[in-house]
A = this chain, B = another copy of it.
Amino acid sequence: MQESFFNSSDAVRGVKPLLHARQWELKEALRLEAGGVLERVNVVYETYGQLNAAGNNAILICHALTGDSHVAAHDSQDDPGWWDIVVGPDKAIDTDRYFVICPNILGGCRGTTGPNSTNPATGKPYGADFPFITVGDIVQVQCRLIDHLGVQVLHAVVGGSLGGQMVLDWAVRYPSRLRAAVAIATSTRLSSQALAFDIVGRNAILSDPHFQAGQYYDTEAKPAVGLAIARMLGHITYLSREAMTRKFDADRLAGRAVKGDFETTFAVGSYLAYQGHRFVERFDPNSYVAITLAMDHFDMGDTPKAIAAALKDATCRWLVLSYSTDWLFPPIQSRNMVDALVGRRAQVSYCQITSDCGHDAFLLPNDLEQYGEMIRAFLDQLGTDGSAATTPRIPLASAGHPSSPTSIFHSRRIDLDSIAELIAPGASVLDLGCGGGELLSLLRQRGHKRLVGIERDPMAILECLRRGLDVVGADLDGGLGAFGDNEFDLVILSQTLQSVKNVASVLDDMLRIGQRCIVSFPNFAHRALREQLYSQGRAPRAGELLGHAWYDTPNVRFLSLIDFEEFCRERGINIEHRVALDTSTGRQVVQDPNLNADVAVFVIARNGRASF
């Protein structure tokens, strides 16, 4: 086994060596996807924690464009890693629990073979002779390393940005080698806007007169200006406009003196000049070109349909995270990916984290309480599959969030069992507005297999993840297009109809997706409310059921049982079953339900073809 402590001989000169990094050489030549062969490939990598006896606790972390193997510090004396906030003992990716592997990627410049490595054919650095590589080639090398380390099946592959593209490639290329994929702030291909920034950056490098067709290693002058320009440009795209305003706007003319010749008049200018200068010291222009080209050519399509085709071989479970102000890998791209996975009936959870930190958010502590805990919950519950044995980290009582409409199934346990009787054993269920996943958990205990929740509250999504459930973060208004016709036996909208603005389109979608649907809502023709309006002259306030007044209730739609029945009749919707409830007694109402029930539950289905 050719393994040695890595001494950085192949890496960018002057960069501090990675003390804990190891080096390993592939036993055979690497055939590249686009043609070409690399005869010798070294891999520099670092590991954290221990592989357990069962060999099933390994997590591979894929770094982004300019990262390296040093994902975290190994001890208190060690240099900080690029993801110290997420990786380490008791952190979201807990190195006391998992065996974490992070290699420097192919094409990089910190030890793994790249353009600055010696070309065995010439004895000199590859430079521009380094062949065109793909994300798939990077992943191939990672897989050989995993083989070498004796890991058959990875617990998960985790990565953000370009690292997220590697995660996607892993899921398709080696489906039997990973149980889960965590794809963060990434996409199935760059937007033309993101691509354009990379192109301008490369043009700056390649046009730098010191680039000399990539053979600058033996010369004094390097294409430092071009690389710095590319880096400055990149930096702008990693930050959100909001974050830049916060950082630089208060004192915008307060530029600092920075080494080099770049403009430093403005605060943001001196920041960019500093970033550009520092980057040139640690990164190789040829690597920047090679890796961005790999990233730019990565293409699993951009529509849910094309993406679904590209991901057809994937079998793993998924956690997809995006950040609201990330405009380089915008949330819509993650959402398309999630829609594609949903369309393929993959097990996928998704959350768009509200953040003002832009693309960099996944590297920053600001929103760690959400995204870090989601990663932790997903990884930790992966094996449990939501069974009753798992203990959520927060009490069930918090399942109902006062700020979001909450299922009666969740907040009013009294009718949970009677409602559950409406659900056929083993039925696949889509729960719209699933809250913390209480109903879905119950159904899972009863042996239901395909269970999916839709929820918009991130804390409720986190709770679902802690229960090991699959939950997609989305608004109901306009978010159900990804689900196929008749994809679920049952679609549930419990106590949410009254807070949905586009009632007709949400119900249309439900009836398209579900063989049947269960809809529950408060009855605004309940005796108490009728009397309130009739004798007191007060507008009926079913919102009071949830502790709200007319002016601040989340409810925006007000209907009675017969209003809903009329709606169904007019639209050719078949009412298969109706349960009218008096929640004060917990009993079903038989006598004049439109007067005596305060909550109604309907089982409905599309009555043949749509009549409208």
Contact = CB atoms under 8 A, between A and B. Distances in A.
Main secondary structure of the interface of A (DSSP, over half): helix
A197 interface: yes
Interface in A294-348: 296, 299, 302, 327, 330
A5 interface: no
B262 A203 contact: yes
Contacts of A536: 562
Nearest to A249: B192
Contacts of A501: 556
A261 B229 contact: no
A153 interface: no
Copies held by the complex: 2
A540 interface: yes
A263 B199 contact: yes
A278 interface: no
A550 to B, nearest CB: 5
Interface string A359-381: 00000000000000000000000
Contacts of A193: 236, 239, 241, 244-245
Nearest to A248: B192
A192 B193 CA distance: 19
B551 A539 contact: no
Contact of A551 (B296, B567, B594): B567
A428 B171 CA distance: 65
A245 B533 CA distance: 53
Contacts of A299: 252
Interface residues on A, range: 35 or more
Contact of A269 (B196, B236, B531, B557): B196
A582 to B, nearest CB: 16
A132 to B, nearest CB: 11
Q: Output the residue of A296, A302, A330, A538 with the most chain B CB within 10 A.
A: A538
A533 B525 contact: yes
B202 A263 contact: yes
Contacts of A595: 537
Interface stretch (A75-83, A204-212, A433-441): A204-212
Given A197-B236, A538-B560, 5 more contacts: A192-B249, A192-B252, A193-B244, A533-B560, A539-B540
Interface of A: 191-193, 195-197, 199-200, 202-204, 206-207, 209, 225, 228-229, 232-233, 236, 239, 241, 244-245, 247-249, 252, 261-263, 266-269, 272-273, 296, 299, 302, 327, 330, 501, 503-504, 524-525, 529-531, 533-534, 536-540, 549-552, 556-563, 567, 594-595
Closest 6 CB pairs of A and B: A556-B556, A503-B551, A192-B248, A524-B539, A525-B537, A192-B244
